[in-house]
Structure 1
Amino acid sequence: MGVLSELKLTVPWGHIAAKVWGSLQGPPVLCLHGWLDNANSFDKLIPLLPQTFYYVAMDFGGHGFSSHHHPGFTYHQHDFVNEVRRVAAALNWKRFSLLAHSFGGVVGGMFSCTFPEMVDKLILLDSTPFFLDSLEKENILTYKRYNIDHVMEMETKQHKPPKVVSPQEMLQSFLKNNIQVGEECGKLLLERGTTKVAEGLVLNRDRRLGLPGNNFEFITKEQLEYFCQKIQARVLMLKASQGFSYFRLLRKGENPRSMETVVNVLKSTLQERYKFVEVMGSHYVHMQEPHKVAGVISDFLESNEDLQSHL
């Protein structure tokens, strides 16, 4: 089943790009990609899911074919939550499901507790809905300072033309910085993440995006408990056995048990509305081996029955 269409949704700073699969009359599912990825993340998976649903995979601002944000401002996690709300408004969606990979799951988690009445189901692909940091009070000002300094540094380079490289050089550089992607999936992401020019390729993404740790929102355990209480959606967390686990590696000294705490709070708070499934595969299992996750996602979308706790 191929892509039905490409969308360009108008926003004050330009447009949000998206691609569409499935039935226009079906229940809506918004798909959120990972950090520095794009909507092509779902090209392998969505054709294996029930085509009775209406799937829209968006490019976050500064990613893929979407516009970059206004000059002079940083990117922050809440900006992407804002984008999800704007996409829902543009499509006139009152209630929908979220299918989210990696950083997209963090955006989806925050959206689900900020606009709980709008989210029916939240599906997390090797992701967590929140980043827990027990040292937040000591580090929050450092994060904010570094983010602003990084953006100002990037602005001094904005007048320089983007670096043009050959397709092969672009791919090798991409794979070096994304060790779990693999060549086939890397090529797929670069199809939407680059623009062809006469001499080769240039990256589409905004240079201000920088490292994910600059832009993510870390929360305390008390905030975690409160946010989870606000979620009305049913949540499916799909963990890859050899996943990247980047949420524990963003900075030195982060508590390695933080993910375990998030899972325990979700489980105790949501109870029968929370399901945890582990699959064999990498952080990009939904692209590399989509059949391993397609079945459980399809069951979750189509039914309210309990899922197995482990595959």
Structure 2
Amino acid sequence: MSVAFEEVRLSLPHIEVAAHLYGPQDGRPVIALHGWLDNAASFSRLAPRLPGLRIVALDLPGHGHSAHRPLGAGYNIWDYVLDVLQVAEQFGWQRFSLLGHSMGAIVAVLLAGALPQRVERLALIDGVIPYTGEADEAPQRLGAALDALLAIDDKRKPVYATFERAVAARMKGVGAVSREAAERLAERGLMPVPGGYTWRTDARLMLPSPLRLTRAHALAFVAQVTCPTTLVLAEQGLMTEPQLRELTAQLPFDKHYLPGGHHLHLDDDAGAAAVAACFEPFFR
């Protein structure tokens, strides 16, 4: 399928981000948010299958062609909420919808719960709430994060001698993907360096979180979502643990269980078509 999009860079008040634009300028405004360590290419199969939408598929800060956060700043999950809001402001969108995969789905739920008046619809793929932690774990978690941050200068991102080796490594990464999906992510996510290729992603994205929301915190955001919401769950995805299945069964969202892995919307055309079949009438 031929994919037509426009590459743009947006100068937000606090950071510069890159994005792919799909669809007509007067289409329903949608901001698409990818998963952890992915990039805007995550939606390269799905976005063209959603006609009538003006989709802004972001490279979230620290990913793809977007800038890294300045030294001293972190990548807490809630920090992305401001990035998304500032993108909406750039386009003059007071009301908009969100399309999120994995981490991007979590960011979408946080934003829709915090500012429900801004979000028209939520379309989520294999993600709802972040990994949570309870109060008694907080001191140890912060300590581990601080130690890791002090040691970050001693770590180097891996360098792959060839593009193909980088693709093979991505296929086996978190949320394993098909070769075609890995190639799409790598084409946008790799950069040449002495000795081969490495990922553009900020190395700080691999650091442990200094603080996690409690389960009660996370569910409070879900409870404040007032817009129509549909959730696609991958039968071989990352939300198959019994506790997560129990959680999702209780969510007040429309749910669709589809065959495929965590990146079912990107792995192949059949998966993208199946996800689009859920979302196209939802947005229409």
Contact residue 75 and residue 215 of structure 1 kept, 8 A: no
How far residue 260 of structure 1 moved from its aligned partner, in angstroms, is: 1.9
Q: Which moved more, 1:234-243 or 1:3-12?
A: 3-12
Q: Which residue matches 1:298?
A: 280
Distance 2:159 2:245 in 1: 37
Q: Which residue matches 2:258?
A: 279
How far residue 176 of structure 1 moved from its aligned partner, in angstroms, is: 2.5
Within 5 Å, which residues of 2 pair with 1:162-177?
Answer: 163=159, 165-177=161-173
Q: Could you say if the C-alpha distance between residues 46 and 215 of structure 1 is closer, same or farther in structure 2, counting changes exceeding 3 Å?
A: farther
Amino acid at match of 1:123: A
Amino acid at match of 2:95: R
Uncovered stretches (5+) of structure 1, i.e. residues with no partner: 249-255, 268-273, 303-311
Q: Which residue matches 1:195?
A: 191
Q: CA RMSD in A?
A: 2.3
* CA deviation map 1:97-132 (0-9, x unaligned): 11100111111110111111111111111111x236
Distance 2:135 2:222 in 1: 20
How far residue 293 of structure 1 moved from its aligned partner, in angstroms, is: 1.1
How far residue 56 of structure 1 moved from its aligned partner, in angstroms, is: 0.6
User: Percent same amino acid among aligned pairs?
Assistant: 30
Does residue 1:20 correspond to 2:21, yes or no? yes
How far residue 161 of structure 1 moved from its aligned partner, in angstroms, is: 8.6
Amino acid at match of 1:62: G
Q: Could you say if the C-alpha distance between residues 33 and 216 of structure 1 is closer, same or farther in structure 2, counting changes exceeding 3 Å?
A: farther
Q: Could you say if the C-alpha distance between residues 190 and 123 of structure 1 is closer, same or farther in structure 2, counting changes exceeding 3 Å?
A: same
Residue of 144, 147, 151 corresponding to 1:146: 144
How far residue 263 of structure 1 moved from its aligned partner, in angstroms, is: 4.2
How far residue 209 of structure 1 moved from its aligned partner, in angstroms, is: 0.5
Q: Which residue matches 2:213?
A: 218
Within 5 Å, which residues of 2 pair with 1:60-71?
Answer: 60-71=60-71
How far residue 199 of structure 1 moved from its aligned partner, in angstroms, is: 4.5
Amino acid at match of 2:283: L
Distance 1:156 1:132 in 2: 27
Distance 1:201 1:64 in 2: 14
Distance 2:111 2:210 in 1: 16
Q: Which residue matches 2:247?
A: 261
Distance 2:237 2:22 in 1: 27
Q: Which residue matches 2:130?
A: 131
Q: Which residue matches 1:108?
A: 108
Amino acid at match of 1:139: E
How far residue 164 of structure 1 moved from its aligned partner, in angstroms, is: 5.4
The SS at the match of 1:131 is coil
* CA deviation map 1:145-196 (0-9, x unaligned): 3223222211344xx7973532122122222324620111001001111113
Q: Which residue matches 1:243?
A: 237
Amino acid at match of 1:77: I
Q: Could you say if the C-alpha distance between residues 162 and 179 of structure 1 is closer, same or farther in structure 2, counting changes exceeding 3 Å?
A: closer
Q: Which residue matches 2:6?
A: 5
Distance 1:234 1:92 in 2: 22
Amino acid at match of 1:220: R
Q: Could you say if the C-alpha distance between residues 177 and 224 of structure 1 is closer, same or farther in structure 2, counting changes exceeding 3 Å?
A: closer
The SS at the match of 1:241 is strand
